[in-house]
Amino acid sequence: MRILGIETSCDETGIAVYDDTHGLMSHELYSQVKLHADYGGVVPELASRDHVRKIIPLIKKALVDANTRGEELDGIAFTQGPGLVGALLVGSSVGRSLAYAWGIPALGVHHMEGHLLAPMLEDPAPEFPFVALLVSGGHSMLVEVKGIGQYRVLGESIDDAAGEAFDKTAKLLGLDYPGGPLLAKLAEQGEPGHYQFPRPMTDRPGLDFSFSGLKTFAANTIRDSDGAPQTQANIAYAFQEAVVDTLMIKCRRALKETGMKRLVIAGGVSANKMLREQMQKMMAGLRGEVFYPDLAFCTDNGAMIAYAGMQRLKAGQTSDLSAAARPRWPLDTLSPV
């Protein structure tokens, strides 16, 4: 089976062709970072317009690179939600229209299921069951995964997600957009021990996350600092360390609660170097395993949508032409495969 994957949930246009025998055959990604940089965040209307401009050329290139014609595909998977409604409508409209024209089925995919299954693109791939930590700009959640569609949300962010807190703190430090990766880079120059940031919601039971208070603590620390470059780096280090420690504490709790020894970490924040290093140490101490997607597939991409869509298309699931975009879509409402 050969699937075209289309991802347009936010500010990246991702297109990929995935084959269940040959693996990933092509992968195209266009980021709108420069477009939104002047505004310090994603402007939904501009994002939608840019998806319209880029999606067809990227689809054509992905098909050429995969040496595949549209009529030779076995299906199209598009991101149906969650995300920005205008951006979702671009991908879903194009995906369903092409599927109708080529006489093949189309399927709307849950964006977070795509992230959750992205490590399946790697070798070795994690086996079910496992605990998944999904950390990105819009989501932070822990999920018990027993199989595709068999999800139990253990905890999630009640305010700012981890990636959102990274970006907002980076902005307070005067870093450009998107600030998360730049803050992580600045933190590499920082020294431990100068600042002690709180580990939010770790002093009470439960697996939910809250990073808005940590962001406020960072804002107050930055305001009261001398503004020197090394001070800025030390603050970045302390902030990043607090986020990583918080995620580790919650993951350890989730593994204990479920009795599992296998952890999957996905989403944009999963590319963070400190997070990967510390999680690796933690899982080694627990005699468990940790899995990540390749760095190219941590952020939004078409490959993860193609893979997730293939699993459901194989099971006979399809979407009709009236399938609406779903800007809000709980992960644990998905049907099992």
Binding-site residues for substrate sit at 134-138, 167, 180, 272
The Cα–Cα gap between 103 and 88 comes to 22
The Cα–Cα gap between 188 and 41 comes to 24
Three-state secondary structure readout of 220-284 = HHHHHCCCCHHHHHHHHHHHHHHHHHHHHHHHHHHHHHHCCCEEEEECHHHHCHHHHHHHHHHHH
- Please state the residue numbers annotated as binding site: 111, 115, 134-138, 167, 180, 272, 300
How many degrees, rounded to 5, is the angle at CA 113 between CA 109 and CA 114?
A: 75
- Measured CA to CA in angstroms, residue 173 lies from 38, 224, 232, 260 at distances of 16, 12, 7, 39
List CB contacts of 166: < 8 A, sequence separation 6 or more. 137, 179, 180, 183, 184, 240, 243, 269
What are the φ/ψ torsions at residue 115 (nearest 5 degrees)?
Answer: -60, -45
Give the max Cα distance, the chain. Answer: 64
The Cα–Cα gap between 39 and 204 comes to 38
**SS3 state of residue 48:** helix
- Please state the residue numbers annotated as binding site for Fe cation: 111, 115, 300
* 151, 114 contact by CB (below 8 A): no
Q: Please state at what angle helix 229-258 crosses helix 179-187, rounded to 10 degrees.
A: 100
DSSP codes joined into one string, 142-171: EEEEEETTEEEEEEEBSSS-HHHHHHHHHH
Copy the structure tokens of residue 245. 């420690």
- Measured CA to CA in angstroms, residue 35 lies from 189, 252, 254 at distances of 29, 39, 39
Please name which of 202, 198, 305, 310 lies closest in space to residue 250, comparing C-alpha atoms: 202
